[in-house]
Structure 1
Amino acid sequence: MGSSKILTGTFLGYALPGLFRVVSELEFQSVNLLVALFIWVKILPMMINIDFAKIIDFRSSPKGILLTLIINWIIKPFTMAMLGILFFEIFFSSLLSPEDSKQYIAGMILLGLPLYSYGICLE
């Protein structure tokens, strides 16, 4: 199903290049407005399903919240940093400059952080 969408998009890109050029120019502050709209369409149903009354009640059972915080803010960033160092400073060190290697490692760490809690989505 996903490959048919990719093929359809590729075909439309060849068939209607002017339309895609116009869509690519719909930007504000380096953010494509159409992409931003579709991201909100994708995220809004998840945000609507949040039961805010249960968030206040987390004190009665804090284990789930604590486990999530530990995994998201301690385990994942350090794991991504270790993977970044392993791949970009050891395995691919001959292919990258030291500056690029550090930038890629920083990117891996950012991918490990739960940025969606700040309204930032990297996917």
Structure 2
Amino acid sequence: MTGRRLSTFEKYLTVWVALCIVAGIALGRAAPGLAVALDSLSVYQVSVPIAIALFFMMYPIMVKIDFAEVLRAAKTPKPVALTLFINWAVKPFTMYLLATFFLGYVFIG
């Protein structure tokens, strides 16, 4: 095996995720008013606690960006343009069709 070994956290990541899910469910049952309190911490319908949590989730990934590679990607615009086109012109309609199919036909009950 080449490369570095997994840390204990990485090795048992599935267990940690499951424990966090169980802890979240237990916290929701034990303190049902907490969801309302957190929901009140929103600005222009944007939840501040969720925004903070998303920042801390994305920051480590953003720090590892190789900006030289980003500049190289800008020099070859075809793949970047194709990705932008797919993400902004095709995917929203695909997701709308999938949502309409599942919510309108499959899960109708």
Compute the TM-score of the two structures, normalised by the length of structure 2: 0.56
Measured in 1, the distance between the counterparts of 2:62 and 2:87 equals: 19
**Structure 1 residue ranges (4+ consecutive) displaced by more than 6 angstroms after TM superposition:** none
Partner of residue 29, structure 1: 44
Percent sequence identity is 36
Residue among 91, 103, 115 paired with 2:105: 91
Residue among 91, 98, 102 paired with 1:76: 91
Partner of residue 11, structure 1: 26
Specify the code of the residue in structure 2 equivalent to 1:72.
N
Partner of residue 49, structure 1: 64
What runs of 5+ residues in structure 2 fail to find an aligned partner?
A: 1-14
Q: CA deviation at 1:81?
A: 4.2
What runs of 5+ residues in structure 1 fail to find an aligned partner?
A: 96-123
Partner of residue 7, structure 2: none
Aligned residues: 92
For CA contacts below 8 A with separation 6 or more, give which structure has more relative contact order. 1
- Distance 1:72-1:14 versus aligned 2 partners, 3 A rule: closer
Specify the code of the residue in structure 1 equivalent to 2:105.
F
- Distance 1:64-1:23 versus aligned 2 partners, 3 A rule: same
Q: Please list the CA deviations of residues 43-92 of structure 1 after superposition, one character each: whole Å capped at 9, or x if unmatched.
A: 1122222223332323544443233234223432343344355x279737
- Distance 1:53-1:27 versus aligned 2 partners, 3 A rule: same
Compute the TM-score of the two structures, normalised by the length of structure 1: 0.51
Computed over aligned residues only, the root mean square deviation of the Cα atoms, in angstroms, reads 3.2
What secondary structure sits across from 1:50 in the alignment? coil
